[in-house]
């Protein structure tokens, strides 16, 4: 359950009543939404229309403003998240910028990337930034859509409004409004599974 209040800042007592744990120096705007079981470790600030999901842990030296961060999200060094973004559960962001209004709702790795505004990053998307020797960068233009279970193999650039279909491994640049689908049609062999797997 999420709680929202009006006014300036929550008191420590009010946070406790909402089921939110605050350790150290914590400032939370009453315009923020807080999920029961969230834990905030100070010093940190949660301001504006931020949305902290139930069970989320916000670590020291965080300043979250007008963002949505889910449980088990991991914002590593160099992570910059714009306004009105959604960083959902099990999303990891490293040395990357997420533009205003962009969303990575769950289970994604965004490493060494500059992501524009209003970009959708689907479930299971991996920015493959390391080839064993070099960490390469990815650039994603405004308004792009990256479907579920895509691998974005750096270095690549996606032009504004490009669309990457689910299940694609992208290894080359896309121009604005390009549509990319990089998967084969499945082949079904009737009774072809016979003898391939034995239970127990």
pLDDT tens-digit readout, 57-101: 898 988 888 878 877 888 888 999 988 899 998 999 999 999 999
Kindly report the backbone phi and psi dihedral angles of residue 140, in degrees, each rounded to the nearest multiple of 5, phi listed first. Answer: -120, 120
Q: d(Cα 39, Cα 109) in Å, to the nearest integer?
A: 23
Q: Where are the domains of the chain?
A: 1-71, 73-182
Which CATH code for domain 73-182? 2.160.10.10
Looking at residue 186, its pLDDT comes to: 84
Q: d(Cα 129, Cα 71) in Å, to the nearest integer?
A: 24
The tens digit of pLDDT for each residue in 184-196 reads: 888 888 988 888 7
Q: Which are the catalytic amino acids?
A: 106
The rounded percent of the chain whose pLDDT value lies above 70 is 96
Which of 76-85, 122-131, 151-160, 161-170 is the least confident region? 76-85
Looking at residue 3, its pLDDT comes to: 52
**3-state SS, residue 160:** coil
* 49-53, 76-80, 120-124, range with greatest mean pLDDT: 120-124
Looking at residue 1, its pLDDT comes to: 45
DSSP code, position 190: T
Q: d(Cα 150, Cα 108) in Å, to the nearest integer?
A: 10
Kindly report the backbone phi and psi dihedral angles of residue 30, in degrees, each rounded to the nearest multiple of 5, phi listed first. Answer: -70, -5
β-strand pairing of 33-35 with 2-4: antiparallel
Looking at residue 104, its pLDDT comes to: 97
The rounded percent of the chain whose pLDDT value lies above 90 is 64
159-165 mean pLDDT: 98
Residue 13 has pLDDT above 50, yes or no: yes
Looking at residue 91, its pLDDT comes to: 96
Residue 5 has pLDDT above 70, yes or no: no
The tens digit of pLDDT for each residue in 127-138 reads: 999 989 999 999
């Amino acid at each position: 359950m999420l709680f929202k209040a009006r006014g300036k800042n929550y008191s420590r007592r009010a946070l406790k009543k909402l089921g939110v744990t605050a350790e150290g120096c914590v400032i939370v705007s009453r315009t923020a939404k807080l999920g029961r079981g969230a834990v905030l470790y100070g010093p940190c600030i949660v301001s504006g229309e931020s949305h902290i999901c139930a069970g989320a842990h916000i670590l020291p030296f965080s300043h979250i403003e007008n963002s949505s961060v889910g449980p088990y999200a991991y914002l590593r060094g160099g992570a910059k998240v714009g306004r009105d973004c959604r960083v959902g559960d099990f999303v990891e962001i490293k040395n990357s910028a997420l533009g205003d209004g962009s969303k990575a709702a769950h289970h994604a790795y965004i490493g060494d990337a500059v992501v524009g505004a209003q970009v959708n990053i689907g479930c299971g998307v991996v920015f493959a930034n390391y080839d064993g020797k070099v960490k390469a960068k990815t650039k994603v233009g405004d308004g792009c859509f990256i479907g579920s279970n895509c691998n974005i193999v750096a270095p690549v650039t996606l032009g504004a409004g490009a669309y990457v279909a689910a299940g694609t491994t992208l290894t080359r640049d896309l121009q604005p409004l390009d549509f990319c689908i990089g998967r084969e049609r499945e082949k079904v062999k009737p009774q072809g599974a016979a003898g391939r797997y034995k239970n127990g």
